[in-house]
Amino acid sequence: MHNLIIILLAPLLLLQGRYVRQNTPRLPEAAGDRGGSLGEGRPLRVLLVGDSAAAGVGVDTQSQALSGCLTRELARDYRVHWQLIAKSGNTTADLIRTLEELEPGEFDVVLISLGVNDVLSPLRVSRWIEQQGGLIKLLRRQFSVRHILLTHVPPMEQFPALPQPLRWCLGQRAKAFNTRLTELSRADKNCELVNIEQTLDRRDMAVDGFHPGSKIYRVWGESAADLIARRLG
C-alpha cells in the first residue's frame, strides 16, 4: 500500500527533495586521524567503512565520532589497530568501488555504515541487498575479515530535516531496507546487526537534522563494541 501512496505523491516528493537538498546545511566530515592504535592487551584489527555517518559528519572530531567511540571502548580490553574508510555521499556501490582499488590487508572485524544514500536513490531494495552481499564477499576476500557488523538504516521518519510526507515515505523505504538487511545478517553466522533505533532521540541529532550527534555516536560505538567483545569472548 505504501508503494502506491509514494507513486501518487511522486511530484510533491520530488519538489520536497529538491528543497531539502538546497536548504539543509552541509556539514563537514569530522577532523582528525583516520587510523591508529590505542589500548593494551590482545591485538584487535578494526576496519570502519561507509558513508557520512561513518566519516563523523555531525561532530567536530573523530574522537567524538563513531571511530573514536568504538575504538575507545574496545581499547579497555584490547590493543586496537584501526582504520577508517568513509566518505560523505557514499552508496554501497561507491564503497565497493573504493575498496576494490585498495591493496589487500587483514582485519579481524569490520563495522559498516551504509544505507541512507541508497534509500535516497531510486535503487530497488532487492538490488541493494545484492550489493550488500557483494560487499561482504569483497571484505572477506580482500581483507580476510572474520566478523562483520552491519548497521540498521536509521529511522528516517524521525529526521527533523525532512518535511512530511517525504519523511514518512523515506521512513517506509528505510524499514523495507532493514527488513531485508536483517534477513541477510541472520543467514550468515559471521554477520551481526547493530540496531540502536530504540535508543535514538531526534533531539540528539546534529544541527542539520540529518546526521547523528555526539550522543548517538557514543551509543552506536558502545553497542558495536559490546557485540565485538561478546563474539571474541
**Per-residue confidence at 205, pLDDT binned at 50, 70, 90?**
very high
Average pLDDT over residues 191-216: 90
Q: Give pLDDT, residue 7.
A: 58
> Which residues, 6+ apart, have CB-to-CB distance to 194 below 8 Å?
111, 149, 150, 151, 152, 220, 223, 224, 227
Distance CA 206, CA 227 (A): 25
Instruction: Please check the confidence at residue 14 and state whether its pLDDT lies above 90.
Output: no
Looking up cell 561513518 gives 54
Q: Give pLDDT, residue 203.
A: 87
Distance CA 152, CA 155 (A): 9
Stronger pLDDT, 201 or 73, i.e. the higher one: 73
Instruction: Please check the confidence at residue 19 and state whether its pLDDT lies above 90.
Output: no
Question: Which tens digit of pLDDT belongs to each residue from 107-147?
Answer: 999 999 999 999 999 999 999 999 999 999 999 999 999 99
φ/ψ of residue 101, rounded to 5: -90, -5
Q: Give pLDDT, residue 181.
A: 98
Distance CA 17, CA 11 (A): 10
**Per-residue confidence at 202, pLDDT binned at 50, 70, 90?**
confident
Q: Give pLDDT, residue 179.
A: 97
Average pLDDT over residues 18-24: 70
Contact 182, 125 (CB under 8 A): no
Percent of the chain with pLDDT over 90: 82
Distance CA 195, CA 51 (A): 17
Q: Give pLDDT, residue 79.
A: 98
Q: How many CB atoms lie within 10 A of CB 227?
A: 16
Radius of gyration in angstroms for the set of CA atoms belonging to the chain, rounded to a whole number: 17
